[in-house]
Amino acid sequence: MSNSLLSLRPLGNTGLLVTPLCLGAAPLGDMPETFQYGTPEEQALETLRTAFESPINFIDTAASYGFGESERRIGKAIQANGGLPAGYVLATKADRDFTTGDFSGEQIKRSVEASLKHLGLDRLQYVYIHDPEHTTFENVVGSGGPLEVLQKFQAEGVIDHIGISGGPIDLLIRYVETGAFSAVETHNRYTLLNRSADPLLDVASRMGVAVINAAPYGSGILAKGPEAYARYAYSEASPIVLERARSFAKVCQEFNVPLAAAALQFSLRDPRITSTVVGMSKPERVLQTVELANYPIAPELWPALEAFGYDTEDPETNRFE
């Protein structure tokens, strides 16, 4: 990558180098309940093939996306490619049991074993504990709990690095402060429309923990526009969010900037953020995203957008599962 906006950066203290753009593979798992549309397998595989050949070297998935379908499709793409492309970094997430709610260490072990099988790999470079808001902090860090299980996998060489990924910001700060995680992934909480993750970004960057900022379009409204996609973070957008999104779109038009470029670069330009995870379900999105990341934006656009304000409250989105 030639542009400094897109050059490789260290992923915390892991020794891994990642691009500031990361392919979010949730929509590739065919999740119509979450995104309101499905993704056929061939389209997902073509998107992955395109991503493997692109300047992006980072992909984000989870055991639970499409109940394993995202990982299974990534596994097929890896196999067809003869392995992960050189220098590529694949991150996944270990999940609770969605039927029983079981978030025990045993369940996390089963989740990691399923990820290895679905991805067709014998080693995972990066595993987050996913959505820890669905259990207690004490369970996650306690004896025999999810963290200890992942650390055991790490000692055995099955997992290289461990992170934490979820919703509520105060909870994520508490996990970051344990010092047990090299990266924290937040979603829908640091966008043009919502900045509730701001304190997390401060704490993590102070501690040298990589911040991975997912869903810079708030699940789509800031890419497709408020008329085409009137939702924020997988739920109907509130009137104030819709009004702000319309105002943002109008100002962006005055500056001749796509709303998506402003939304993406809002995240990319923040020095506290290591990588921004963009959900994509179509092959053409890969190049479009690189172009949006490089789109020239006059500095005057940023204060013009600020003038409309933004939310600092948690969007209460525990629904992305």
CB atoms within 10 A of CB 155: 9
Please identify which residue in 219, 265, 267, 274 interacts with ligand NAP, judged by CB under 6 A.
219
Please identify which residue in 288, 294, 295, 311 interacts with ligand NAP, judged by CB under 6 A.
288
Residue 294, strand partner residues = none
By CB under 6 A, the residues from 168 to 187 that bind ligand NAP are 185, 187
DSSP 83: S
By CB under 6 A, the residues from 50 to 89 that bind ligand NAP are 60
CB nearer to ligand NAP: give 180 or 214. 214
The residue type found at 156 is E
Q: How far is the CB of 230 from ligand NAP (least distance, A)?
A: 13
SS3 label, residue 260:
helix
Does 286 interact with ligand NAP (rule: CB under 6 A)? no
By CB under 6 A, the residues from 98 to 137 that bind ligand NAP are 130-131
Q: List helix spans (H) across the chain.
A: 32-35, 41-52, 69-81, 105-119, 137-141, 146-155, 169-176, 198-207, 221-224, 239-254, 259-268, 284-294, 301-306
Does 35 interact with ligand NAP (rule: CB under 6 A)? yes
CB nearer to ligand NAP: give 274 or 289. 289
* Cα–Cα dist 208/254, whole Å: 38
Does 210 interact with ligand NAP (rule: CB under 6 A)? no
Q: How far is the CB of 82 from ligand NAP (least distance, A)?
A: 24
Does 146 interact with ligand NAP (rule: CB under 6 A)? no
Please identify which residue in 12, 20, 24, 66 interacts with ligand NAP, judged by CB under 6 A.
24
* Cα–Cα dist 255/253, whole Å: 5
Does 215 interact with ligand NAP (rule: CB under 6 A)? yes
CB nearer to ligand NAP: give 32 or 144. 32
Please identify which residue in 49, 152, 224, 272 interacts with ligand NAP, judged by CB under 6 A.
224
For residues 182 and 162, the answer to whether their CB atoms sit within 8 Å is yes
Q: Please identify which residue in the block is written with the tokens 């997992």.
A: 159
From the list 292, 318, 129, 301, the residue with the least C-alpha distance to 217 is 292
Does 26 interact with ligand NAP (rule: CB under 6 A)? yes
CB atoms within 10 A of CB 31: 24
| Number of residues near ligand NAP (by CB under 6 A) | 33
Interacting span for ligand NAP (CB under 6 A) from 77-85, 106-114, 218-226, 241-249: 218-226
* Cα–Cα dist 33/2, whole Å: 38
Closest-by-Cβ residue to ligand NAP is 279
Element (H, E) at 161: strand 159-166
Binding site for ligand NAP (CB under 6 A): 24-27, 35, 60, 130-131, 165-166, 185, 187, 214-220, 223-224, 260, 277-282, 285, 288-289, 292, 320
